[in-house]
Amino acid sequence: MSNSSWRFSKRALAMKSSIIRESLKLTAKPGVLSFGGGMPAPELFPVEELIEACRKVLTERPDEALQYGTTEGYTPLREAIAERMNKIGVPCTADKILITGGSQQGLHLLGSAFIDEGDYVVTARPTYLGAIQAFNAFGPKYATLPSDDDGMVVEGLEEILVEKSPKLIYLVPTFQNPDGRTIPVPRRKEILKLAKKYNTPVVEDDPYSELSFEGKVPEHMFSLAPENVIMLGTFSKLLAPGLRIAWLIAPNNECFDRCVKMKQGADLHTNTFAQHVVYEFMKTGALDGHVEKVRKLYARRRDVMVAAMRKYFPEGVTFTEPTGGLFLWVSLPEKINATELMPKAVEKLVAYIPGMAFYPDGGGDNSMRLNFSKANEEEIEIGMKRLGELFQEALNS
């Protein structure tokens, strides 16, 4: 009966499960307050509006909404996204927008379209774990640069571009997952100048820029260099992740066409029905008001979390204070290993993602990511208290 001798691909044998998703399973234990996931606040899901959008789509155009669709995506949705993107200063047209099954698929398509085994990808350290997971299927190496308060540093980038000819520079420039840091415009320009000089595409993964708590965000990298950036946007944080509707903006036809072909092979096309529902929701004009609600709630929760961290965390523990997004980053004294601390955390009924998960080439042992969008204020208060005690005990031991 054992088929352990089936000959899987080298790729499959090398793939590890996402630490995030495995951690989430561990922390599903009853009573655990988890700050590990990256889930939007479900109480804000615009349920009534979505019921109406479903009814409308299925009443008015069931033949189209339930049928096979084009790989590129539902044209009116692509047009609505292009319009919204232009409104926030991203100059793009619908014909370069590819609808994807979440931005995770966008990352996977880019990995597929660009990475041969052994090719380098540049990322910040820490960087978004899901991107590492998506790229790893294609056997890349990573050349990483550290982050300061302004995100990935530029020092060392040119050397990497010269010596390692990376295929992609991957960035979450605004409210980066996992650390909430944002790259200011001057640094964006420096990165783009080098990227251009060495003809290396920049992937701007942008799930959070509309979730700014303090007004305007820096100009998008795509806006600063529309010919050299591939941008990823998503409705997961703006509307609902369960709909799995995101988009990739290609800077030119060749890049667009290659991504479309990879998607044809991967899943033919994204859920037609969900595309219609999201389009219908956008058409009502309710998205802006909804995003405003999300912003306010997350800003409030960040405030509560930061205040509780100040109150409960022992000296020597530092953290970022993001002005948007869903995450902040905690740095512990060197002697504490956040991965090793996890079982004790779960005993104390609190959970996080160990920082090492976000380091594609090792490191980050004494850090962790915390999410402030999902738990309510009371839970945040209790959770930070538990974490403070946990840190204190680790320091004392």
Per DSSP bridges, beta strands 367-371 and 353-354 are antiparallel
Q: Minimum distance between the CB of residue 245 and a copy of itself, rounded to whole angstroms?
A: 9
Q: Minimum distance between the CB of residue 39 and a copy of itself, rounded to whole angstroms?
A: 6
Q: Minimum distance between the CB of residue 37 and a copy of itself, rounded to whole angstroms?
A: 7
For residues 221-250, which are near a copy of itself according to CB under 8 A? 227-228, 236, 240-244
- Stretch of residues binding a copy of itself (CB under 8 A), selected from 11-19, 152-160, 295-303, 324-332: 11-19
* Spatial separation of the C-alpha atoms in residues 126 and 182, rounded to whole Å: 13
Q: Minimum distance between the CB of residue 226 and a copy of itself, rounded to whole angstroms?
A: 10
Check residue 54 for interaction with a copy of itself (CB under 8 A).
yes
For residues 322-341, which are near a copy of itself according to CB under 8 A? none
Cβ(54)–Cβ(277) below 8 Å: yes
Site string for a copy of itself, 118-147 (x = CB under 8 A): -x----------x--xx-xxx---------
Q: Which two tokens stand for residue 109?
A: 């398509």
Check residue 4 for interaction with a copy of itself (CB under 8 A).
yes
Check residue 92 for interaction with a copy of itself (CB under 8 A).
no
Q: Minimum distance between the CB of residue 248 and a copy of itself, rounded to whole angstroms?
A: 13
Of 277, 247, 232, 279, give the one whose Cα is nearest residue 72: 247
Check residue 207 for interaction with a copy of itself (CB under 8 A).
no
Check residue 73 for interaction with a copy of itself (CB under 8 A).
no
Site string for a copy of itself, 265-294 (x = CB under 8 A): xxxxxxxxxx--------------------
Q: Minimum distance between the CB of residue 388 and a copy of itself, rounded to whole angstroms?
A: 28
Check residue 216 for interaction with a copy of itself (CB under 8 A).
no
Check residue 10 for interaction with a copy of itself (CB under 8 A).
yes
* Spatial separation of the C-alpha atoms in residues 378 and 131, rounded to whole Å: 32
> Which residue in 35, 36, 77, 114 binds a copy of itself (CB under 8 A)?
114
- Stretch of residues binding a copy of itself (CB under 8 A), selected from 36-44, 120-128, 155-163, 303-311: 36-44
Q: In what order do the strands lie in the sheet with 353-354?
A: 318-319, 327-331, 367-371, 353-354
Q: Minimum distance between the CB of residue 31 and a copy of itself, rounded to whole angstroms?
A: 19
Site string for a copy of itself, 359-378 (x = CB under 8 A): --------------------
Q: Minimum distance between the CB of residue 35 and a copy of itself, rounded to whole angstroms?
A: 15
Q: For residue 4, how many other CB atoms are within 10 A of its CB?
A: 5
Cβ(151)–Cβ(123) below 8 Å: no
- Stretch of residues binding a copy of itself (CB under 8 A), selected from 34-42, 154-162, 280-288, 360-368: 34-42
Under rule CB under 8 A, how many of the chain's residues touch a copy of itself? Answer: 89
Cβ(283)–Cβ(53) below 8 Å: no
- Shorter beta-carbon distance to a copy of itself: residue 167 or 301: 167
For residues 166-185, which are near a copy of itself according to CB under 8 A? 167
Q: Minimum distance between the CB of residue 3 and a copy of itself, rounded to whole angstroms?
A: 5
| Contacting residues for 292 by C-beta, under 8 A, at least 6 apart | none
- Shorter beta-carbon distance to a copy of itself: residue 4 or 397: 4
* Spatial separation of the C-alpha atoms in residues 163 and 227, rounded to whole Å: 24
- Shorter beta-carbon distance to a copy of itself: residue 267 or 347: 267
Q: Minimum distance between the CB of residue 60 and a copy of itself, rounded to whole angstroms?
A: 10
Of 213, 214, 215, 193, give the one whose Cα is nearest residue 202: 193
| Contacting residues for 330 by C-beta, under 8 A, at least 6 apart | 309, 313, 317, 318, 319, 352, 355, 367, 368, 369, 370
